[in-house]
Amino acid sequence: MSDISIDYQDIQGNSLAGFNKDHQTFLLVQFRDAPSARTWLATLVPRISPLSEVQDFNNLRRSMIARLGRAPRSLAVSWINIALSARGVDLLKSDGDDPLDDNAFNVGLAGGRADLLGDPPKRNEWKFGATDKTSADALVIVATDAAAHLRTVVRELRDGIKAANVKLLYTQKGHTLEGNLRGHEHFGFRDGISQPAVRGFTQPPKPGEPMIWPGQFVLGLPRQDDADPDQPLDPLPCPDWAKNGSYVVIRRLRQDVEGFWQHMKGEAARIGAGPEFPNIDCTRLASMLVGRWPSGAPFVLSPTSDNPELALANDFRFGDADAFPPVCPFAAHIRKVNPRSDPVEGGGPSSALTRRFLRRGIPYTDGPTDRGLIFVSYQSSIENQFEFVSRQWASNDVLPVSPPGEEAISGFDPIIGQNDENHRERSMMLFGHTGTAVDVILPRDFVTPTGGGYFFAPSISTLRRWTAE
């Protein structure tokens, strides 16, 4: 199948193209009843940004950067997308429209999936999504190039919410970090480097970007086949109204920046006193845990020092190219969530491609002790993509790859992995040049979920039909 029919006018733009704006706001909305929800949605649908608009702007911006050698100063736009929870879909969908059959989506975080992910059981600090009462029916994503313009758009949306008699549950702001931390997350590491390329859409793919069939991210399109990555499977079965839509996961992840770096200093002193990693400093240790240096340079390509020239490098492998003892630890964050050429359970390296999702997150700063990442992902199955990576890889001390030996374990993902036992302590293994294992102990979570939800972003035509009835 060489020709892939992607409906650029019908698919919401943040899925395949990505808003990629410095300033974003997430509005969590609750519905009181179907009539008021439809009234509100009818005012919003004309403002939803389609894939065509987002992609055209992104292409224009890239072209101007290539010509000017810098980002254009006068090119600005604002975009809006919307996604609905299972309850939101049930309230709005037409009579006769079949329900979605993604079990994770239908149950939701508050219904039990947060427990399944291993989230801390006490969720009194969650801003939204901890209980049915604090869960949203709709997620509105607003993105702009200028903070002042964002405030204007959000104010208009808030007025519309009030006028339609629906409830604004929570407002979450997100902004790209400034100065030397631009493009980085709060721990100081460059973020968002590794994204999959979408067949029939990404032109051209960057080195190291695997080409993945678009049905892994948007329903109704051809999807990935583990056995033959170059030939697609039929689209995932779904109701007709759900075609051109995507499942959306949002997670508010608070980062304990001071605690993380204080612990890295202590662990570096302890490990550096031993023979395997003599005099290791906290930056190198933290980089081994992440799998990249703060600049973004992959540890497997530059194991002894940071190299900003490799900041955006994505063309590297694990597997046989970094087997044992591994340069990049088996449990390093980037290796856990994207095993690349590592063998994974159920198949060879190509099996990992069906687990990939598109990330559209942004940092947030709500105070000196409340800062972190608004994680947003788009996929065609929450259970088989986001939840699988979170549970079976990041929060599993054995998978996707372990060192040789029946009793050996690689450890938890030290950044987002969660030990759902009664305690939150977890560990991972580093291996010196002799293959001797050294444990890194993390006594508690340094990244903690404080909000979230599962949503579905319908096609624009579906939203129009639902509001016209």
CA distance 351 to 344: 7
Quick one: pLDDT at residue 371?
A: 98
Q: How far apart are the first and last CA of the chain?
A: 37
Express each pLDDT in 128-158 by its tens digit: 999 999 999 999 999 999 999 999 999 999 9
What pLDDT is attached to residue 346? 53
Strand partners, 253: 373, 449
pLDDT of residue 1: 41
Q: What is the structure's pLDDT at 193? A: 94
Please state whether beta strands 23-30 and 246-255 pair in parallel, antiparallel, or not at all (unpaired). unpaired
Please list the ranges in the chain whose pLDDT falls under 50.
1-2
- Quote the pTM value: 0.97
Name the region of 255 (left: φ>0; alpha: ψ -120 to 50; beta: rest): beta
Measure the CA–CA gap between 270 and 196, rounded to whole angstroms.
38
- Exposed e or buried b for every residue in 73-95, given b needs 16+ CB within 10 A? eeeebbbbbbbbbbbbbebbbee
Q: What angle do CA 200, 203, 206 make, to 5 degrees?
A: 120
